[in-house]
Amino acid sequence: MRIEGEYTFSGTREDVWEIVRDPEILSTALPGTQKFEQVGENEYEGRMNVRIGPVSGTFGGKLTVSNEIPPESYTLTVEGTGKVGFLKGTGDVELLDQGDGTTLMKYDGEVQIGGRVASVGQRLFDTVSKSMIKQGLEKLDEALQARSSDAD
């Protein structure tokens, strides 16, 4: 399943980069996150509660960041499993300086899902994942603005 989209942050590319690479901020941004901690240089582990239509459950998983070109782009690899199935995906994230103090994030990835999440939740997966990503990115944007107003 393909997940792609874009989002405009009200901040510079360097500031956005700091935010999206900050585990503490990330842990507050993703809806349903119960735990999110750094376990290696570019490796994170966490637990997240997800509800997709009639299917809900906790996923435990690993997030790996690779191909980092600060502050331009990176690759995310996610692997999660839980009682309701599994999820596995890779996506490329690109940050584009818009020249007006804003930054455009473009993301494009492939996600595999299996188990109950796929067999019963598939129809809603696309909508739910889009809405979760949107919520997460909005949270990050809020954090970005809070940080810049602190700096002011």
Task: Pick the stretch among 33-41, 64-72, 112-120, 135-143 that binds another protein (CB under 8 A).
Answer: 112-120
Radius of gyration of the chain (CA): 15
The Cβ-side half-sphere exposure at 152, using a 13 Å CA radius, reads 6
Contact call for residue 70 and another protein (CB under 8 A) = no
- Sequence-ordered strand ranges (E) for 39-152: 43-52, 55-69, 73-82, 85-97, 103-114
Pick between residue 123 and residue 150 the one whose CB is nearest to another protein. 123
What binding mask, one character per residue, do residues 30-59 give for another protein by CB under 8 A, x or -? ------------------------------
Task: Pick the stretch among 7-15, 25-33, 40-48, 84-92 that binds another protein (CB under 8 A).
Answer: 84-92
Contact call for residue 114 and another protein (CB under 8 A) = yes
Query: How many distinct helices (H) and strands (E) make up the chain?
Result: 4, 7
